[in-house]
Structure formats: structure tokens, C-alpha cells
Structure 1
Amino acid sequence: MMTVNVNSGVVSTIIPVFNRPEMLRRAVESVLSQTYKSIEIIIVDDGSTDNTLSVANALRHEHSAIRVLSIENSGPGAAREAGRLNATGEFVQYLDSDDILLPEKFTKQVGKLNQNPKCDVCYCQTSLQRLDGSVVTPWKRTGEKIDQIIPAMLASRWWDTSTPLYTRRVVELAGPWHTWINEEDWEYDCRIGFNSTGLAYVPDILSVQMEHQEARLSHDGARDQQKLKSRVNARMAIIGQSLNAPPATESSEFVTQLKYSFLLSRQAGAAGLADESRDLFNLVQPHLKSRNISVLGMTLYKLGAQLIGWQAMGKLSEQIDKLRK
């Protein structure tokens, strides 16, 4: 529960950061450059081992709107949660330290939310700036008018962390960020969606995802065991939330989520995560079976896993997939 006093009209921007001093400066400047001036910025240093914390503190001394928190290295979810618990604004913006906001973002999104009091989330168009200087606009599905976060978010995370602006109400209803290190943002977005009463849209480019040489934390999520564990936890949570909201389970997007999760179960098995592979498989199988989807394939897969083990079956499945390509 967020227990701090609420400052009406204020936008709280939460920026988690780990070892990115120069990117942090750029991200913070993009918030300070907003035409909407009722802001606070909460920088959460996630146990950086370079001079990032020093840069954050220098920025704090330069600008009264900035606060700095420092936590032990725990991943982006834990850092965002630390910021969330300390946010005082009526609106909440999450911003990854490697991305930027364009100057009119808060003015346009706060305005849209005030015009549509039944909506508690407002998204915008986001662009992707590639290393070679080219720009992809709009990025993902942010160029589409989507009326509700769910069920669309079940099939894929169709926006960037910087895309939406949330009301405090929906952030409180959704609850805390998980400390997973991969797909924690997708699970959070789905949870926001299940608690949201309406989605507003500003069809303008108001945020930019910046591509850079440094690999993002979400990379290698098909091999790294810790990331795979986080992904399995996130998918099981997303499916569980959907099962508690029956209309969502009737959507094609939910079926897509089930299919992707079956693939993830196989990847987890191949990586040696037998328990996670089995648990996710057992959650997914009955819901695909009831829709008469992949019934034979999943039956044979489970029999194989019981005979030779979940890891061996996962690896065998990968080899079969390669032969099919």
C-alpha cells in the first residue's frame, strides 16, 4: 500500500538505474524538459558499482524536484517498487534509464485523463531509435487505438515501459512490482489491465525507446536459468489472473498466451528447470485441451517427459523444432 500523502496534479516519474550514469542524465533531462511542471522525479539506484549514484545525487542537488533512493542490487522490479512506495503524485510514470520522454508527454496525457475520468491509464505512440540512427515509428502497437489493455496485453507486451501514464488509483489497485528479473514488466502491465476501468489514447509520439550497444536485462531470456525462472513465474501469474477474469479466457489473445507458454515450458525444461517446466505445462495443458488445440502434441510431450525427464524432452523438442525449420 502506498501510504504517503498525495499531491494533486503531480506526476511522479520513477527511474530505476544500474550502472548507466550518462543515460540517466539524458532520461532525467527529458523529464525536467516537460512542459507540464508539476513533477517529481524519483531515481532509484539499484546497487550501481560505478559513479551512477554520484551522478544521481549531483542531479538531486541541482533540481529540487529530484529525490534519490539507493537499494541493494535487486533488479528493475524491486527498484520500481521502491520508487512506487515513495511516490507522492496523483499520476505515476515509469521510465527506464535508457529511454526518454518528449516534452509534451505529461501535458497531453494528464489532459486526456482529466477529460476522461473513467480512464485510469493513458498511452501514447512510442518510437524506437536504432543504433544506426534510423527510427521505427510507431513502435510495437502504440500506433493503434486499443480500447482496453486486456485482452490485447495477453498476447504480447504491445508498448514500452515509458508509453503509459497511470493514475495513482490503478497503481494502488494493481499492487507491488514483483522482484523477478525478466517479464516482470509484462506481468505488471497485465495486472494493471485487470484493475483498469478504462484506457485513454494520445495518438502522438511522446516517448522514445533508445537502442544501444549495452544489452538490455531482458536479453538471453531463453537460456539463462534465472531469467527463465522469472519468465515462468510471470506467465503463470498472467494466466492465473486471466482465469480469475473469465471474459479474458474467451479471447484469441489468451490462446496465444497459452501457446507461447507451452513453448516457454519446453525452453525451461531444456535449460534444466524441470519443476518450472512441469508446473507451467500442467497449468497450460487443460486450457489448450479444452479448446482442442495441440491435444495430441501435448499428450505425447507429457508422456515423453514422464519417460525420459523434462530436461531431455525439452532438448528433444528443440532439436525437432530445428529440423522443421
Structure 2
Amino acid sequence: MAGRLAGARHRRAAGMSAPRVSVILPAYNRADLVGRAIDSVLAQTWRDLELIVVDDCSTDDTRAALERYRDTPRVRLVFSDTNRGGSGARNLGIAHATGALIAFQDSDDIWLPHKLAAQVAALDGKPEAGLCYCGALHSAGNKSFYIPEPVFDRLEGDMSDEILRRNTTSTQTLLIRRAVLDQAGHFTEDLKRYQDWDLMIRVAQVTEFAFLPDPMVVICDTPGNISSVVLNDAICRAAILKRYPQHFARRPDLAARNHYIAGRILMKLGDKSAARQHLRAAFRLRPGARFGLALGRALI
């Protein structure tokens, strides 16, 4: 909050009004890539924005790369004195944001130039929606795939139940009303993965979603990305289940699905004890051959 007030005072002193959109971009040890991400934000056809770049106490030359933007209009640099992690850095950026709409970019990804303009128009056309997200291409080497993947019953409107299946998207695709973000709560800082899913679950309980299917974000699979650690999938999926029992109670089928996935991952990693707990929970919630067979294998 102090950062947000300081940002507002700075703008008043400079005779500037608050921008419509605040873009938060956390960076940690991305000296070679962060410039590309920043440039893709500054190339947006929607011009009424501020870009808040949060250096999360990088140990490489990221700070030097960011200093090149020190005098760039619409760019504000924030340097954290401790390593907060991606969620903590985003929350620090939110604290400095002054816009009524908040977007998030990652330091190794690319926005197409019309992304923000299309999303602002979508929210202006759907006042009942507090969040707009778009399609994206997830790029890994010479392969890519489209998200959201075709596993959902619905992709917009009331997503309070459907979002429990799995996350529809990724943080880089979001544009959210600041009032909705404050109501739902900011990023959870103790999750190593699925911070975006955790946020989307909470947001879906208080507002409808708008969705634009065109892919307007390129998500680059960068080595060293913490989301690539398989064990974190099981750990954080279990944390999501534990964090929102009241929501999953409405959809025991989706709770069973996520217990099953966590159990299968833990089995492959050799942790049979933890795997059995999840597979038992899956079978208890949704008795059937598939979950029963998986549990039987875990018990052998």
C-alpha cells in the first residue's frame, strides 16, 4: 500500500493522471531475456499504461539490463532488497500500481501488440466480468501448443466450479480489475507452482470471466523455470486441494481428479506412502475402476 501511495504522489507531483492499466513484470536473473519482454509491453497499441518492473534481487546482470529503461516513459523500476519469489515480486508490483486494471507479464515471455487493447475492450463490453484472459501459445524448443487445452466444459462466465478442474491459463494472459483483485486477495507467496491457478480459483468466486480465444501471448519454456519441477506439481496440487475444501466439496469429481493426478506423480517419483493417501482420497470421492486400479497398484 505504501508503494501504491508513493506512486500516486509521484504522479500528482509530475502532473500526471493514473494510467488505465498497470502492468507488473517480475524479473529474476533474466538479463538476456527481460528486454524482449519489456519491449513487447511497450509495443502495445494500448498506450495508457504504466509498466512496473520488479527486480527480485537478481544476482546476474538483470539490474544493468533494466537500468537501460530508467528514463523510458511509462516504465517504473522497483528493486527488491530480498528475493521474494515470483508471487512476492508480483505483490510488490501490485503495491506500486496505480491503474484500475492490472496485467501481468513474465520476464521471458512475449505479448502480441494488440493484447491489451483487445482485453480492455472486452472488459468495457462486459461490466459483469472482473477478469479477461486470452489464448496463448506455449513454446518449448521447436514445439508449441495452445492453451487453454480442450478439457473444459466452459471457458467464460461463471467459472467458480469449472476452474477447480485445472487452471485454464497462465498469469501472462490476465487483465483484471484492481477492485476485484483486492477483493479476492493477491498472490499466495508460499506456493512454488500454480500461483496463477490459486488466484483464479479465488477470483472465480467473486466475478465472472471474459475469454478471448485468439492467442495473444507466447509463453516460452525457459530452463530453470520452477514450474518445470515435477514434484512441485504434486505438492502444490495437494496444497490447492487443502486450501479450498469448501469449493471442492461442490465438485467431488474434480477433487478426485486432482487427488488422482497427485497420487500418480508421487508414485512415479517413488513416494508410495504419500501416493496412497491421494489415491485413497480419489477412490473414496469417486469409486470406479480407474481410481481403484491405481490405488491397488499403490498398495502392492
Q: Please give the secondary structure, in 2, of the residue aligned with 1:89.
A: coil
- Whether contact under 8 Å (1:119, 1:199) holds in the other structure is yes
CA distance in 2, matches of 1:264, 1:74: 28
Q: Please give the secondary structure, in 2, of the residue aligned with 1:96.
A: coil
Match in the other structure for 1:194? 205
**Which of 231, 234, 237 is the equivalent residue of 1:235?**
237
CA distance in 1, matches of 2:249, 2:128: 20
- Whether contact under 8 Å (2:19, 2:98) holds in the other structure is no
Match in the other structure for 1:141? 149
1:256 aligns with 2:257: yes
- Whether contact under 8 Å (2:255, 2:282) holds in the other structure is no
Gaps of 5+ in 2: 9-16
**Which of 9, 28, 32 is the equivalent residue of 1:18?**
28
Describe how 1:149-160 pairs up with structure 2 within 5 A.
Answer: 149-160=159-170
Q: Please give the secondary structure, in 2, of the residue aligned with 1:47.
A: coil
CA distance in 1, matches of 2:262, 2:40: 37
Letter in 1 for 2:251: T
CA distance in 2, matches of 1:104, 1:296: 48
CA distance in 2, matches of 1:143, 1:300: 27
Match in the other structure for 2:226? 217
Length, aligned pairs only: 285
CA distance in 1, matches of 2:284, 2:98: 47
1:254-298 deviation per Cα after TM superposition (whole angstroms, max 9, x unaligned) = 331121133355467729xx7xx38x937x745641432446864
Q: Please give the secondary structure, in 1, of the residue aligned with 2:216.
A: strand
**Which of 92, 96, 121 is the equivalent residue of 1:82?**
92
Aligned-residue CA RMSD (Å) = 3.3
**Which of 277, 281, 284 is the equivalent residue of 1:289?**
284
Gaps of 5+ in 1: 305-316, 318-325
CA distance in 1, matches of 2:132, 2:285: 35
Describe how 1:157-196 pairs up with structure 2 within 5 A.
Answer: 157-177=167-187, 178-195=189-206
CA distance in 2, matches of 1:68, 1:96: 15
CA distance in 1, matches of 2:249, 2:191: 27
- Whether contact under 8 Å (1:155, 1:253) holds in the other structure is yes
Closer, same or farther: CA 255–297 of 1 in aligned 2, 3 Å = closer
Q: Please give the secondary structure, in 2, of the residue aligned with 1:121.
A: strand
Q: Please give the secondary structure, in 2, of the residue aligned with 1:260.
A: helix
Letter in 2 for 1:191: R
Identity among equivalent pairs (%): 25
- Whether contact under 8 Å (2:19, 2:50) holds in the other structure is no
Match in the other structure for 1:314? none
Describe how 1:21-60 pairs up with structure 2 within 5 A.
Answer: 21-60=31-70
- Whether contact under 8 Å (1:14, 1:95) holds in the other structure is yes
Match in the other structure for 1:311? none
- Whether contact under 8 Å (2:241, 2:248) holds in the other structure is no
CA distance in 2, matches of 1:297, 1:34: 48
| Mean Cα deviation higher: 14-23 or 168-177 | 168-177
Q: Please give the secondary structure, in 2, of the residue aligned with 1:123.
A: strand
Deviation for aligned residue 1:98: 0.7
Query: What is the TM-score when the length of structure 1 is the normalising length?
Result: 0.74
1:54-73 deviation per Cα after TM superposition (whole angstroms, max 9, x unaligned) = 22132132234323232422
Match in the other structure for 1:93? 103
| Mean Cα deviation higher: 185-194 or 20-29 | 185-194
- Whether contact under 8 Å (1:153, 1:190) holds in the other structure is yes
1:55-103 deviation per Cα after TM superposition (whole angstroms, max 9, x unaligned) = 2132132234323232422321221121122222111111111111111
1:198-255 deviation per Cα after TM superposition (whole angstroms, max 9, x unaligned) = 111223222111244x332212333xxxx47xx52x33442245432367425x4333
CA distance in 2, matches of 1:288, 1:169: 40
CA distance in 2, matches of 1:115, 1:180: 34
Closer, same or farther: CA 172–142 of 1 in aligned 2, 3 Å = farther
Q: Please give the secondary structure, in 1, of the residue aligned with 2:227.
A: coil
Query: What is the TM-score when the length of structure 2 is the normalising length?
Result: 0.80
- Whether contact under 8 Å (2:115, 2:216) holds in the other structure is yes
Letter in 1 for 2:225: R
